[in-house]
Amino acid sequence: MCPAISGGLIGRMVFMTGKKPKSMQGFTLVEVMIATVVFIIAVLGTSAYRYSAALSARRADLQTTAARTALLFCEGWRGESGVATYDPVTRFFGEMDISASAGPTKPDEFTPLGSYKVVLEGNSYFVTLSWQDNTGLRALNIIVAWDQHGSGSSNLSAADKTFKLTTYVEP
Over residues 32-53, mean pLDDT: 96
Quote the pTM value: 0.74
Q: Would you say residue 21 has pLDDT above 90?
A: no
pLDDT score, position 33: 94
Higher pLDDT, 15 or 110: 110
- What percent of the chain stands above pLDDT 70? 83
Query: How far is it, in rounded angstroms, from Cα 54 to Cα 35?
Result: 29
Residues of 48-74 as b/e, b for ≥16 C-beta within 10 angstroms?
eeeeeeeeeeeeeebeebbeebbebbb
57's CB contacts (< 8 A; 6+ apart) are none
Q: Would you say residue 135 has pLDDT above 80?
A: yes
pLDDT score, position 11: 52
Q: What is the dihedral of CA 167, 143, 106, 153, to 10 degrees?
A: 170
Q: Would you say residue 13 has pLDDT above 80?
A: no
CB 131 within 8 A of CB 82: yes
Over residues 134-163, mean pLDDT: 86
**In the 8-state DSSP scheme, what is residue 157?**
G
